[in-house]
Amino acid sequence: MKHIVVTECFDSIPISDIMSKGCLTAVEADELVGYVRKHRLDGDNIIVSRQEIVFINYVGFIQLRSCSIEILPKVSGNDPVQSRRVLLRMLQRSGFLDIHESQISRLTIEKMNLFEIIAYLFTSKLSVELRKGLVRSYRREHGDLQLVKGKIDIQRQVRRESMMQPGVSCVYDEFEVNNPLNQVLKAGLQIVRSRSMNSSTKKKAMSSLTIMDEVDSVLIAIEQLDLIGFDRTNRRYQHSFQLAKLLINRSSPLFSQGGSTNSSILFKMNELFEAYMAYLVRKNWHDVTVHDRSCKLLIKEGSERGVFQLEPDILVINRQGKQIIIDTKWKMIHSDRSRHGVKREDFFQMYAYLTRYKDVSEVVLLYPYHEGINASGVQLESWYLEGEPGKKLKVYSIHYEDEQSAEEELKGMIDSIKM
């Protein structure tokens, strides 16, 4: 099956009916467009023309009937293996994936796309836990039995006796494996079995499905996933559940009309970049608020109700006691453009933060570094409010693909504010 690797924002996939590994046919492109519409993906960030397809903001994996597409973030050297490592690290640090650094190093990343990596992690973790035994839970049952089990259902028993029916109406707890958690795990295994191309992963999935033979195969509604709780009896399955949830959330229903095999595991890079930067800031500074909601832009007279909630990405107090707002922007700026190409709407957003947060002396627009920027970790632009030179808006880029460099650049940026 054809597999296409493309870099988010920087590369495009040509559309051509000439047989080529790096192209989509017109039929495949139409299938992709149909999938985007059906699953209400952001069409503004998946740009389809007659000649090519460009992915902006989305990274991850899309499975079509006759081919698969892997969208990776931009890294130095345009190396897909390095891109996958960077993406996995960001997913791990941001809490999207529970994966240890040693597991990343053991993976044959050059041969595995993102779906296969997640499928491998899921089946590996789950098979270990299943060998210790399935999760069993009590389910309340009502039944008419020959012998007393649990407690007698008095009301039903009185009715039975009035009708001279034999037996005993009982209420009892049934200890069984067919519970919602196991059903979710089985649904995840079924997705892997039907879509994984890795023989080892597929074998693990089929082996685990044999163990879960008594668990019903059911369609899982996404809202059901948030209802499953964990305690001491099932906590060892929590990591496996998170991976199964990821597979189910990001995939098409297992049993869809027409036997569709389309699926995707997609992440928005603006959300991932923000979460990764928040992780690094929290790691190095204690007084950090993510998505602060303490201020509104305006208050309505009469009702005193606030309107236009302000919600900066990161509010941090540095080691000198100064408050700084960092707003991450997964956008491409360039050193050869006026004001580095910072968007007008971003200026107004930062102006609102500077004027409303009285104790904030600086707001920073933080962009990902790439070759079109002169340097990372240093101030690229700086402005101050007219009449208030102590209130500044600054622009920085950060070398996000190297974690150590990113931490050092953040330290220099945040702790440089002393006055």
Region of poorest pLDDT, from 151-165, 324-338, 344-358: 151-165
Residue 399, in any domain of the structure: yes
Q: Is the dihedral of CA 99, 104, 105, 108 positive or negative?
A: positive
Would you place residue 258 in the very low, low, confident or very high pLDDT band (cuts 50, 70, 90)? very low
Residue 201, in any domain of the structure: no
Output the pLDDT for position 110: 62
Among 153, 176, 199, identify where a domain stops: 176
Q: Where are the beta strands (DSSP E) in 226-378?
A: 263-268, 288-290, 296-299, 306-309, 314-317, 323-328, 360-368
Output the pLDDT for position 419: 52
Output the pLDDT for position 382: 95
d(CA 398, CA 377): 5
Output the pLDDT for position 115: 87
Residue 362, in any domain of the structure: yes
Among 176, 202, 228, identify where a domain stops: 176
Range of the domain at 336: 285-415
What single-letter amino acid sits at 238? Q
Q: Which residue has the higher pLDDT, 127 or 260?
A: 127
Share of the chain above pLDDT 90, in %: 46
Residue 203, in any domain of the structure: no
DSSP-based three-state secondary structure for 318: coil
Q: What is the mean pLDDT of residues 334-355?
A: 94
In contact, 20 and 52? CB cutoff 8 Å: no
- Sheet strand arrangement including 379-385: 288-290, 314-317, 323-328, 360-368, 388-398, 379-385
Q: What is the mean pLDDT of residues 254-259?
A: 34
d(CA 61, CA 369): 24
Would you place residue 67 in the very low, low, confident or very high pLDDT band (cuts 50, 70, 90)? confident
Phi (first) and psi of residue 236, to 5 degrees: -65, -15
pLDDT, one tens digit per residue, over 196-248 is 888 989 999 999 999 999 899 988 877 778 888 888 888 899 889 988 988 88
Residue 217, in any domain of the structure: no
Would you place residue 255 in the very low, low, confident or very high pLDDT band (cuts 50, 70, 90)? very low
Parallel/antiparallel/unpaired status of strands 137-145 and 388-398: unpaired
Tally the domains of the chain. Answer: 2
Q: What is the mean pLDDT of residues 131-156?
A: 78
Phi (first) and psi of residue 60, to 5 degrees: 140, -140
Residue 299, in any domain of the structure: yes
Output the pLDDT for position 252: 40
Residue 169, in any domain of the structure: yes
Give yes or no for residue 362 having a pLDDT over 90: yes
Residues forming beta bridges with residue 314, ordered by sequence position: 290, 326
Residue 320, in any domain of the structure: yes
